[in-house]
Amino acid sequence: MEHTEVKAAEDSLASVVRPSFLVRRWQSFRADLADPDGTVAMIARILRGNYKTHWKGYTLSFFFLFIVAGMTSLSAWIMSSVVNQIFVKQDKEMLVLLSCAVVGIFVVKGAATYGQMVVQSRIGNRIVAENQNRFYDRILRFGLNFYNERASGEMIMSISAGANGIRSVIDTLVLSVGRDFVTLIGLVFVMVYQAPIMAVFALVVAPVAIMFITRLVKRIRSIARAEFTSGIAIISIIQETVHGAKIVKAFGLGDHMRTRMSDAVGAVEKRANKISQLQARTSPLMETLGGVSIGLVIFYAGWSTISAGKTPGEFMSFITALLLAYEPAKRLARVQVGLAESLVGVRALFSILDHPVSVTENDENPALKLTRGRIDLDDVTFGYRTSEPVVHGITLSVEHGKRLALVGPSGGGKSTILSLIQRFYDVQKGAIRVDGQDIRTVSIDTLRQHIAFVSQDVFLFSGTARDNIRIGRLDATDAEVEQAARDAFAHDFIMNLPNGYDSTVGENGVQLSGGQRQRIAIARAILKNAPILLLDEATSALDSESERMIQAALDKLVEGRTTIVIAHRLATILTADEIAVIEHGKVLESGTHAELVRKQGLYEKLYRYQFAEDPALERQSA
């Protein structure tokens, strides 16, 4: 038999023995259960991490929901007595009693609904807050590699959509089980009790609805994931516009950024419309199936009353239960759809919570025992993940109270050395020691507590000038903050701000000049008063006059401290105890200024080049 014939026979056999709908649903459920990223696993994890903490509040919420469900079923049940006793038998005593009973049912239902909404809202708000705090606490324990690889827009979207998604999932489950499912069970009981045959007609629509909804869920999940990604793009574009406002305007990028934003917003709108369209498909289905059921029931009820002489009370109760069951049934039909959309953000949040903590942020090691503050780099080699090593076998030492200057062409690895000393990254070979202790074996917090760092890329937090200086030591008094500002020659310009030290500096200090931001950064380093000082082009953003003032402050600051300073302007490091020339990640030469000039190597070339540009350099050298 030819291969094609065999294949055709197999396909024919498969079509005959194809699993039934229920079998396929069971197989799908088992596969989802085994998938750690599947709906069942996600819901189980959400409940383990959140429901157990708030079970008392949710128990109270369920209590109120059961009352609501019971009152809804009772309102359908009582319709039998209302019709038979009031409209058929015309019993005046029952008229008053049943009217009061109906009022009482709906008063109790309203009060229980209010109680449930208040309780569940408070729990939901608490869950959002807890998960946002968990998220933030987690990302603080990641190293710089994590931040370099993740867009800030992704993290903002994850913490917002993820935390609210967890709340939405739990709320959906609680309302679906505690209100809709229990209400539906109660109303079905009323229908079966009052008219069993009509109940059969009414309930045959359920399998059809389940089959339809199952097909929608898979499509909504993929669209919601794409919508989440487009939402990240919107946040990223806004951040780029705010932080890069000068570049956007200087290069006339308004139309370009507007087009990017329009495309991103359009993509979100398109996918949101698609999700709404898919969700809305449940309505015509339920309306049609519900209309067919109600029509059949009314026909049978009418025929039984007219031809079979049955009382209308039972049928009225049945029809009331059927009509009341429509809304909870429709909400239950949409549960899977809503869960599929909410879980997209939850998965993004969990992916970050599950990301392993960086070894560089481990604080379980013993505290650093600082005696003098000597720093040793022993055959240190390091490279970033996507490049060749940028530091090759560097060996350097800085004694307590001494100043080591790192100079050389840009991109040589100087700033990387300062990052390794602060253990933002771990060395790949060799070791860095402080007072003989490998920094990989000590508490990272105690290591960084003993280091003051001033970068050429100054970052200021949103807040006041006083707040940004106090970051150096959070328990510092106002007097200490102001003294640090004076030592950094920042006091005068701060006092000229509208509210002095209480003036806001704007996002990342946008309301200050580059030199002013630099002096704020130097002031908080002075306030920290750490025994180890790392300066990465600390005077790069200053004019000549400010540089001289800051250099005087730094000269005073470095006294008695272990200092490593990176400088391109050699005038600032002529008096350093040792100068190391770094190029291509290696130490080419080292020594004092005078020794390096006599060697006539790379340092002497850099010095002569800057001397030609700045004759004052020769006077300082002399």
Q: For 421-448, write each residue's pLDDT tens digit.
A: 999 999 999 999 999 999 999 999 899 9
N-term to C-term CA, the chain: 100
Determine what percent of the chain is predicted with pLDDT higher than 90. 25
Angle at 483 between CA 482 and CA 489, to 5 degrees: 90
| Residues 614/571, Cβ–Cβ less than 8 Å | yes
What tokens does 261 get? 């934003």
In the block, which residue shows the tokens 């950064």? Answer: 521
Q: What is the pLDDT of residue 387?
A: 67
What tokens does 425 get? 């990254």
| Residues 85/91, Cβ–Cβ less than 8 Å | yes
Please list the residues that pair with 394 across neighbouring strands.
Answer: 380
Q: What share of the chain is helix, strand, coil (3-state, %, to 5)?
A: 70, 10, 25
Q: For 514-526, write each residue's pLDDT tens digit.
A: 888 888 988 998 8
Q: Where in the chain is the domain with CATH 1.20.1560.10?
A: 34-353
DSSP for 462-508, please give it: SSBHHHHHHTT-TT--HHHHHHHHHHTT-HHHHHTSTTGGG-B--GG
Look at residues 506, 603, 492 and name the one whose alpha carbon lies nearest to residue 549.
492
What tokens does 364 get? 């379980």
Q: For 593-611, write each residue's pLDDT tens digit.
A: 999 999 988 988 888 887 6
Q: What is the pLDDT of residue 495?
A: 94
Contacts of the segment 215-223: beta carbons below 8 A, 24+ positions apart? 216/278, 216/279, 216/281, 216/282, 216/336, 216/337, 217/336, 217/337, 217/340, 219/278, 220/275, 220/278, 220/279, 220/337, 220/340, 220/341, 221/340, 221/341, 221/343, 221/344, 223/271, 223/274, 223/275, 223/278
Q: For 580-596, write each residue's pLDDT tens digit.
A: 999 999 999 999 999 99
pTM, two decimals, is: 0.76
Instruction: Name the CATH architecture for the domain at 365-450+563-622.
Output: 3-Layer(aba) Sandwich (3.40)
**E strand or H helix that includes residue 432:** strand 429-434
Q: What is the pLDDT of residue 15?
A: 45
Q: Where in the chain is the domain with CATH 3.40.50.300?
A: 365-450+563-622
- Banded model confidence at residue 575, pLDDT cuts 50, 70, 90: confident
Q: Please state, in angstroms and as integers, the Cα–Cα distance from residue 547 to each residue in 65, 466, 509, following that order.
A: 70, 22, 20
Q: How far apart are CA 437 and CA 373, in angstroms?
A: 11
Q: How far apart are CA 442 and CA 435, in angstroms?
A: 12
Q: What is the pLDDT of residue 1?
A: 43
Q: How far apart are CA 280 and CA 264, in angstroms?
A: 24
3-state SS record for 51-70: HCCCHHHHHHHHHHHHHHHH
Please state at what angle helix 152-175 crosses helix 92-139, rounded to 10 degrees: 150
Q: For 347-363, write each residue's pLDDT tens digit.
A: 889 988 998 888 888 77
What is the rounded average pLDDT for all residues in the chain? 81
Which of residues 306 and 173 earns the better pLDDT score?
Answer: 173
Instruction: Name the CATH architecture for the domain at 34-353.
Output: Up-down Bundle (1.20)
| Residues 406/566, Cβ–Cβ less than 8 Å | yes
Q: How far apart are CA 550 and CA 538, in angstroms?
A: 9
Q: State the amino acid at position 281 in one-letter form.
A: R
Q: How far apart are CA 170 and CA 175, in angstroms?
A: 8
- Section 269-287 average pLDDT: 67
Q: Please state, in angstroms and as integers, the Cα–Cα distance from residue 247 to each residue in 237, 240, 460, 461, following that order.
A: 14, 10, 20, 21
- Banded model confidence at residue 187, pLDDT cuts 50, 70, 90: confident
Instruction: Calculate the CA dihedral of residues 239, 244, 249, 254 and round it to 10 degrees.
Output: -30
Q: How far apart are CA 235 and CA 157, in angstroms?
A: 8
Answer yes or no: is pLDDT of 189 > 70: yes
Residues 6+ apart with CB under 8 A from 567: 405, 406, 407, 535, 537, 539, 573
